[in-house]
Amino acid sequence: MRFIWLGLSLLIAIFILGCSSGDQHDQNLKMIQYLEPLDAVLEKPRPGEWLFEHPEQGQTFEAYKQSKPVSPDEIRRYIYLQPIGALTPIQGEVLRYTAEYLQIFFGLNTIIAEPISDSVIPARARRQSRETGEQLLTSYILYDILEKNIPPDAIVVMAVTAKDLYPSDSWNFVFGQASTKKRVGVSSIYRFTDIAMDSTTYPICLERLIKTASHEIGHMFSCQHCTHAVCVMNGTNSLPESDQRPNRLCSECHMKLCWNLGFKVPDRLLALDQFFMRHTLLQDHRAISKDCARIKQKTQ
């Protein structure tokens, strides 16, 4: 695997030196087309799964471009993570790993803001669940806390809490929620592990949190749920359904974010693969290492 990284790094250097910025952007989009054969076909949805309960048409690359998506500019160019409520030391460590991951995933500097107490959430935006105890209302966090306090240099803000979330009285819970135009979102780590976390057991929580955070921030950059292929932007109804999806963008959603954010595809894939290996996220490593090998094969 080390030889693949070295070979890919050399190709990246040649690629950068030999292209203008416009050519480089076009070449990055072309590289993503090379990855399309690696997209896994979505199976027919079964009862209880997201697409069975919520039939969606999806969003093509052309439709995305025409939607005037949220895009960074010279001022608004940072992703912020906003902790809400108390986090244990290991939960804080997972949050720091998540910030590192999001910086690689979106190609934008990611900042962890100073934590705020969940006491700012009033009683009308809380409820008690028999199964999970106290839950927090996502809409209050999104629009009364985050939207009203977006830092001037933030392109998007994602709240992270250790408490369970609910989006309305008719829902039992939600892993996360985001606005496609308001540039705010929220994720919870409450349901992401059923064992005590430590330095050896944290990866399962990390795998789930980076999946939810990148999914919700993808929405904040105006990506709708994906129906093109197996993708981190697929809608999911349950933790088992979410766990079946790797932390990988399908070629169509990859194209959308690359067109919008302008990241370098080989750099991004290589850094993602190294992150997955470092944290023993083996399902994600297997998926992205295939992308790295495909890019190397097609650009030699």
205-247: per-residue pLDDT in tens? Answer: 999 999 999 999 999 999 999 999 999 999 999 999 999 999 9
Domain boundary assignment for the chain: 2-299
H helices present in 171-281, as ranges:
203-220, 239-243, 251-261, 265-278
Q: Is the pLDDT of residue 33 over 60?
A: yes
User: CA–CA distance from 284 to each of 64, 160, 294 (Å)?
Assistant: 26, 22, 16
Q: Is the pLDDT of residue 16 over 80?
A: no
Chain segment 63-92, per-residue pLDDT in tens:
999 999 999 999 999 999 999 999 999 999
Q: What is the dihedral of CA 66, 71, 73, 78, to 10 degrees?
A: 180
Chain segment 253-264, per-residue pLDDT in tens:
999 999 999 999
Q: Which candidate, 30, 39, 105, places its Cα nearest to that of 255?
A: 30
CA-based radius of gyration for the chain? 19
Q: Is the pLDDT of residue 2 over 60?
A: no
Do the beta carbons of residue 154 and residue 78 sit within 8 Å?
yes
Residues of the chain with pLDDT > 90: what percent? 82
Query: What's the CA gap between 11 and 288, in Å, rounded?
Result: 17
Give me the CATH code for the 2-299 domain, please.
3.40.390.10
For the question of residue 53 being annotated catalytic, the response is no
Q: Is the pLDDT of residue 3 over 50?
A: no
Considering the chain, what is the average pLDDT of its residues? 91
Catalytic residue among 49, 207, 216, 252, which?
216
Confidence of residue 8 (pLDDT cuts 50, 70, 90): low
Please state, as a whole number, how many other Cβ atoms lie within 10 Å of the Cβ of residue 106. Answer: 23
Query: What's the CA gap between 217 and 184, in Å, rounded?
Result: 8
Q: Which residues pair with 174 in a beta bridge?
A: 165
> Which pLDDT score is estimated for 260?
97
